[in-house]
Amino acid sequence: MSNQIIYSSDNTFEQDVLKSELPVLVDFYADWCPPCQMIAPSLDALANELSGKARIVKINVDKNPELSMKFGVRNIPTLMTFKNGELVERVAGAMPKSQLTAFIQKAM
Active site residues: 33, 36
Give helix 97-105 / helix 34-49 axis angle, nearest 10°. 60
**Residue 17 neighbours by CB under 8 Å, 6+ apart:** 8, 24, 26, 55, 57, 82, 85
Q: Strand, coil or helix: what is 78?
A: strand
CB burial of residue 43 (10 Å; 0-12, 13-18, 19+): buried
